[in-house]
Amino acid sequence: MTARPKFFLTTAIDYPNARPHIGHAFEKIGADVQARYRRMAGFDVYFLIGNDENTIKVAKRAAELGQDTKAYCDDMASQFQEVWAALDISHDDFIQTSESRHHEGCRRFIQRVFDNGFIYKGTYEGLYCEGCEAFKTDKDLVDGQCPTHRRAPVRRSEPGYYFAFSKFQDRLLAHYAAHPEFIQPQSRHNEVVNFVQSGLQDTLISRHGEQWGIRIPFDEEFTIYVWFDALLNYMTAIGFGHDETQWARWWPADVHFIGKDITRFHCALWPAMLMAAELPLPHKVFGHGFVQRRDDRTGELVKESKTLGNVTEPMDLITKFSSEGFRFFFMRECPFPGDGEFSWQRFAEVYNSDLANNLGNLFSRVATLLLKNYGGELPAIDAAAAVEPPEGPDPASLAASVASHVETCDYHLALEAIWRQNLDPANRIADRYEPWKLVKSDKAKAGSVLRHMVEALRRAAIYLKPFLPRAAQRIYGSFDFETSWESVRYTDAGTSLPPDRPIRLTVAVDEKGKIPPLFPRID
């Protein structure tokens, strides 16, 4: 049997110095949509997420709470995974960088780069931002402050080991030219190319005198600096340093999903590290935008940030409304390649308009009409009573277009097409023929209208499987479609149901004999 193609994707690992906010969730959902879509397309998927624990700020936070650092990290890892489970993030692995598999792989990697002659010892003095855990140059600052953490860096001097980053300028630029798809979207590509062209400086990759972290194998007085350690999780999780067969099966990564603020680390430092170790580079790095929060009272727009203390807790949205509403809002309203806005008011508006009133109402209309007027079974089409399908693009063309948007991570465009070119036409044909009235005088013709509405629901369920896994399965599973839910592909949305086959409703009703709403309205 032919082996399925592999697809290995990752997200940035998160600092566990506080619980995740909606910015973290935005990234995880975007990656999850891609993972679920690739599984539908027949790929063997490995989806990796995790926490970045070998950091000074994490050790400080544990000390503030009077906890052992490792115990603190383990507790925070369980809190993060609780949120990801509530959002139906379908990851295959969650790595903690305090794990032995990561430590072992990091020590082997840094030794390899050292043996290849790209690490040397020196002394460094510069402006250091504790929030970024990175040294800054004057051009990185805005009014003397780190633009991300809005505080002035401190001058710091320390002995340490350097990575000869400057030796890789020409090789990096040659790689960008040969592989223009490596950095996405294009705006991030341009930023990184300009950064590398302006000249690279050798990078400090160690810390001296720290008790928490990974010891450098060739000098145990030092620990590995967070970025030279953290980036390696993408390989240590899949076996680098401890399971070479597993590592060779999955590496290189097909795509790293990361926030745009850490693009330089992933698109310049990371490939240079791999070049120094003579290892293959990932195929693509996708730097997504930020989620900004608009205050419903003041109208002020601010970036979600744990440092700034203005985060929105994902579990608040999930428990008050639903994980499906959460996933839909951020993929529909916040373009993944760019920045988006969140406010409680806008969330309610989008949820009610697109989910409750459009998709949810269409489902309720169809299911209720079938249950009350057809005994739950819609007969085969009566050719004499057939009505023309809703106006819109050819189903196969729409399926190809939606799939293309998903593959390029233009999720907002995919969802817009699903609603405007599939669901809206179905609602318009319902409003035109009013099958709830027509069924009383021409049951066959009303049945033809309903089949078009069922088709729209079937196609929507297939399209939405990566976006709204629970709701999509409920819609699809409410009818006895021939193709099983587990085996549907996006191409199935481009086909039509056999006109000579009855459609049976299999939806469950509540104790009052009614069909529960798919998306209860938000008042």
Is-catalytic flag, 514? Answer: no
Residue with tokens 């030794």: 111
Q: Rounded distance, CA 151 to CA 142, Å?
A: 10
Is-catalytic flag, 132? Answer: yes
Is-catalytic flag, 306? Answer: yes
* Active-site entry in 266, 306, 405, 445: 306
Is-catalytic flag, 73? Answer: no
Residue 447: partners with Cβ closer than 8 Å, 6 or more residues away: 374, 378, 379, 381, 382, 385, 439
Q: Rounded distance, CA 392 to CA 122, Å?
A: 66
Q: Within 121-242, where are the H helices?
A: 169-178, 186-197, 226-230, 233-236
Q: Rounded distance, CA 354 to CA 346, Å?
A: 12
Is-catalytic flag, 91? Answer: no
* Active-site entry in 28, 57, 91, 129: 129
* Active-site entry in 132, 267, 334, 409: 132
* Active-site entry in 146, 267, 334, 409: 146
Is-catalytic flag, 303? Answer: yes
Calculate the alpha carbon distances from 344 to 295, 329, 442 in Å.
Answer: 8, 11, 45
Q: Rounded distance, CA 102 to CA 237, Å?
A: 7
Q: Within 288-408, where are the H helices?
A: 314-320, 323-333, 344-350, 361-373, 395-407
Is-catalytic flag, 409? Answer: no
C-alpha neighbours within 13 Å on the C-beta side of residue 46: 20
User: Is the separation of the CB atoms in 307 and 278 below 8 Å?
Assistant: no
The residue type found at 91 is: H
Specify the pairing of strand 291-294 against strand 301-303: antiparallel
C-alpha neighbours within 13 Å on the C-beta side of residue 206: 27
Is-catalytic flag, 106? Answer: no
Q: Rounded distance, CA 151 to CA 268, Å?
A: 25
Q: Using CB atoms within 10 Å of the CB of residue 348, give its burial: 0 to 12 exposed, 13 to 18 middle, 19+ buried.
A: middle
Partners of 183 in the beta sheet? 285
Kindly tell me the number of DSSP H helices and DSSP E strands found in the chain. 21, 18
* Active-site entry in 60, 242, 303, 443: 303
Phi and psi dihedrals of 428, rounded to 5? -70, -40
Q: Rounded distance, CA 460 to CA 392, Å?
A: 14
List the catalytic residues.
21, 24, 129, 132, 146, 149, 303, 306
